[in-house]
Structure 1
Amino acid sequence: MATRDILKTLRAEHDELRQLFEQMEGTTDRAAKKRADLLARIKANLLPHAKWEETVFYPMFAERADRDGLKTHAEAVEEHRAVEKTVPPDVHAAEFGTPQFAGRVKVFGEMIDHHASEEESTMFSMARKLFTAKERAGLDVAYEEWKASPAAAALTAVAEAKTGLKAAARRVTRRAQ
């Protein structure tokens, strides 16, 4: 049996998101239902992942990090914040069968890939030094349990509600212009 490691799990989730965005990029404007299904899968994978990083992994990383690690942590937090506040609401404000949706989801995927690549190359290499293999295995178990918890469901629901409200506001604003 392979040894558990939170960094391997997070990387595998990044790879799954990359594949979903790649599938999305291969759709046409006529594939509105497929785009909706893919976006739902992206959200189902991304939201618990991001919320756990923000509430558990990033704070633990910051507690142990040196100055360079704290800069890496601050950048990761800001990337999460920037993506959450802007891109998903813009994606949701567009109709699935439009070039606007395709363009917005492409930018979303590029931002996720950029963030994941930096996280994997910089933060994860630092984390391997900051956390023992046993600690990383324990974090992996804790993450799996957390994803099935009411807390995860609540944080995910709040994030989805915020995105939906922002998207609705953007649609109304665009119609008024």
Structure 2
Amino acid sequence: MRDILKTLADEHDTLRSLFEQINATTDRAEKKRTELLQKIEANLIPHAKWEELVFYPAFAERASHDQLLQHAEAIQEHRAVELTVLPDLHAADKTSRQFAGSVKVLSEFITHHADEEESEMFKAARQLFTPAERAELDEQYEAWKASPAAAGLTFHAKAKTALKSIVRNPKAPG
């Protein structure tokens, strides 16, 4: 049976693998870093946006007082990545130590977030949602990822990141 929690955890694993690859690059690997960053964002942004729009609100509706703290932390971690970490990464020259450092921070941040989500939030969600509800959420997520709405939100998020990176470093290529 389908399960949104397995799908989201599998996507976390994909991101972990991509971060291992990009963290292993050298400063001379501009093309490889660019390709890997594109893959990271292609996986990360739709995942995060759907969690924010669908999964987190559904979780919050059923959450206990303590589980609402997990919810609040998850939202703030998403905001920190979107508003600070990704724009800083894009503002850095891909052949620089700053880029490597920003990638390292992003990978640690996302890995920590994914680990917490899986060990705390997903564990709670297994109790809050029936297997049938988790399967339905998984189907909705698959359909949403292929939708114009997902493409639009992903484009918007990338555009915001690009604009914020320009403000941070007007000379950066974006």
Range into which the TM-score falls when normalised by the shorter chain: over 0.9
Aligned equivalent of 2:138: 140
Distance in 2, matches of 1:172 and 1:39, equals 20
CA shift, 1:72, in A, is 0.7
CA shift, 1:172, in A, is 2.6
Aligned equivalent of 1:153: 151
CA RMSD for the aligned pairs?
Answer: 1.1
Q: Choose from 34, 41, 60 the match for 1:43.
A: 41
Moved over 6 A (4+): none
CA shift, 1:173, in A, is 8.8
Unaligned runs of 5+ residues in structure 1 are none
Q: Choose from 85, 88, 91 the match for 1:90.
A: 88
The SS at the match of 1:27 is coil
After superposition, the C-alpha distances for 1:18-48 in whole angstroms (9 at most, x for unaligned) are 0000000110011000000000000000000
Scaled by the length of structure 2, the TM-score of the pair is 0.97
Identity of aligned residues (%): 65
Aligned equivalent of 1:168: 166
Aligned equivalent of 1:126: 124
Aligned equivalent of 1:67: 65
Distance in 2, matches of 1:173 and 1:33, equals 19
Distance in 2, matches of 1:79 and 1:39, equals 19
Residues 107 and 147 (structure 1), Cα distance of their counterparts in 2 relative to 1, 3 Å cut: same
Q: Choose from 100, 103, 106 the match for 1:105.
A: 103
